[in-house]
Amino acid sequence: MAKVRRSGGPDVRERQQQQKAKRGRGSPGIFALHLLLIVLCLLTAFPLLWMLSSALTPPQDLFAPGVRLIPTPPTLRNFPDAFALQPVGTWLLNSVVVASAITVGKLAVSVPAAYAFARLRFRGRNVLFGLVVGTMIVPDVITIVPNYILIADLDWIDTPQGVIVPMVAFTGFYVFLLRQAMLVLPQELIDAARVDGANTLTILWRVVLPLVRPTIAVVAVLSFLSAWNLYLWPLLVLQDAEAKTIAVGMQYFVGNAEGGQEWGALMATAALAILPPLLLYVLAQKAIVSAFVESGVKG
């Protein structure tokens, strides 16, 4: 609690300042707050900025003494280098395929279940819901040995479905989010549809889905991001160079005990790997917050 109080402290002051700020903008308190936040943001962003700048730095300057965030002159050379050395384009494509398929799969199984848990009454509902959200506390690494054996036995090593199918199961959080969104829909709408003779599927498709579209969008973005970032599972399942996703393909540039690293190409590939998720997030961030606000994340 001490921590809360400490961080609550400045807040109190800042808020008092803010009252004043309403009358006169740019008071010193607000200024100090901005300054603090800017420093925090710079610290947080530094590793990413450094990476982006490295991607634009000629490889021989990368490790020269001193720290420069702005390469002089910047170069795009690392990008064609990366594509020439390794199938970076294929990796990006694989990442898109894997992340999209996992997202679609998670939505396809989560939305109907969330609806049933939110709006229908049936025997065993609480137990089944418990089983679904219970998966939230199972770290996926725990299941990795049996799932690896299963995938190997299915002959799915080096295939996209080998990565995709098991990962669809880790969707407890999204069922939970969607259910929260569906809980607060007005019952009258559903009743009205039912009076018109609509069955459950029609109601879900015609009435409920359009109403929770923002939450679905958020679930899609979040699951795409987490699938894009998957590391350990694709590392095990995708062994062939052509089958890798971008996050694991990068190992090829790091080299091994034999030496011969390609840092310029590595940094360029890294930049390519982080840009899609960053862009997606920037586009979706408002929606994410408001979806959390609306669904009121509750235990």
Partner 1 sequence: MNQQRKISRRALLKGSLAAAGGAVLAPALAACGGEGRGVQDGVNPNGKIAIEYWIGVSQDTTTAFQSLIDEFNEANPNVTVNLKSYPSYADVAQALQTAAAARKMPAVVGLGYKELRYAAELIPHANIPDLPGFNAGWLEQNFAKAILDLGKVNGTQHIMPFLLGTPYLFYNADAFEQAGLSGPPRTWLELRDHARRLTDEIGRPSFSIPEEGYMWAYQSFIESNGVRLLEDTGSGYRVGIDGAGGVEALQLMAGMILEDETAVLVDDEQAAQSFQSGQLPLITGAGATVRAAQKQGNFNVGSAPLPVWEGKQKRVPVAGNGFFVPDVEPERQAAAWQMIEFLNEPETLTRWSEATGYPPPRSGLMDDPQYLKAFFDENRILRPELEQLGDEAVPYISWPGENGLEALEVLVDARDRIITDGQEAAPTLREAARRAEDLLND
Partner 2 sequence: MVATGREQSATPTPKSLRQATYGSLEALSPYLLVLPVLTFMGLFVYWPLVYSVYLSTLDWNFVSPVREFVGLENFLELARDEAFRQALFNTGLYLIVLVPLLVLLPMGLALLLWPVRRSRAQGIYRAVLFAPTVVPFAVAAVVWLWIFNPLQGILTQVLIAAGGDRINWLQNPDTAFWCIVAVAAWKVLGFNLILYIAALESVPRDYLDAAELDGAGQWALFRYVRFPLITPTCFFVLVTTFIFISDEVFAAINVLTRGGPFGKTTNLLYYLYERGFESFQVGTASATALVLFAAVISVTWLQFRFLERSVHYG
Stretch that binds partner 2, among 74-82, 86-94, 165-173, 207-215 (CB under 8 A): 165-173
Q: Using the rule CB under 8 A, is 228 a contact of partner 1?
A: no
Q: Which one of 19, 239, 285, 290 is in contact with partner 1 (CB under 8 A)?
A: 239
Asked whether 173 and 106 are in contact (CB, 8 A), the reply is no
Q: How many CA atoms lie within 13 A of 9 on its CB side?
A: 6
Asked whether 254 and 228 are in contact (CB, 8 A), the reply is no
Q: Which of residues 98-117 bind partner 2 (CB under 8 A)?
A: 108-110, 112-113, 115-117
Count the site residues for partner 1 by CB under 8 A.
31
Measured torsion, CA atoms of residues 90, 96, 97, 101, in degrees rounded to the nearest 10: 170
Tokens 């996050």 belong to residue = 247
Q: Using the rule CB under 8 A, is 72 a contact of partner 1?
A: no
Q: Using the rule CB under 8 A, is 258 a contact of partner 1?
A: yes
Q: Using the rule CB under 8 A, is 47 a contact of partner 1?
A: no
Q: How far is CA 296 from CA 75, 181, 215, 247, 292, in A?
A: 47, 8, 12, 33, 6
Stretch that binds partner 2, among 74-82, 155-163, 208-216, 248-256 (CB under 8 A): 248-256
User: What are the backbone dihedrals phi and psi of residue 182, each rounded to the nearest 5 degrees, phi first?
Assistant: -80, -25
Between the two ends of the chain, the Cα-to-Cα distance in Å is: 21
Instruction: Give 178's contacts (C-beta < 8 A, 6+ positions apart).
Output: 110, 111, 114, 115, 118, 212, 215, 216, 219
Which CB, 225 or 258, lies closer to partner 2? 225
Which CB, 89 or 296, lies closer to partner 2? 296
Q: Shortest approach of partner 1 to residue 280 CB, angstroms?
A: 28
Q: Which one of 40, 69, 145, 149 is in contact with partner 1 (CB under 8 A)?
A: 149
Q: Which of residues 6-25 bind partner 2 (CB under 8 A)?
A: 6-8, 10-12, 14-18, 21
Asked whether 249 and 91 are in contact (CB, 8 A), the reply is yes
Q: Is 228 helix (H, G, I), strand (E, B) or coil?
A: helix
Residue 186 binding: pick among partner 1, partner 2, none (C-beta 5-8 Å cut-off by kind) = none
Which CB, 128 or 241, lies closer to partner 1? 241
Which CB, 84 or 141, lies closer to partner 2? 141
Q: Using the rule CB under 8 A, is 157 a contact of partner 2?
A: no
One-letter amino acid at 259 equals G
Tokens 């960053």 belong to residue = 278
Q: Distance between CA 255 and CA 244 in Å, rounded? A: 16
Q: Which one of 119, 156, 159, 205 is in contact with partner 2 (CB under 8 A)?
A: 119
**What is the per-residue binding string for partner 1 in 98-137, x denoting contact by CB under 8 A?**
----------------------------------------
Residue 69 binding: pick among partner 1, partner 2, none (C-beta 5-8 Å cut-off by kind) = none
**What is the per-residue binding string for partner 2 in 195-234, x denoting contact by CB under 8 A?**
x-x-xxx--x--------------------x--xx-xx--
182 closest CA partner among 238, 251, 244, 112: 112
Q: Using the rule CB under 8 A, is 27 a contact of partner 2?
A: no
Tokens 């509750």 belong to residue = 298
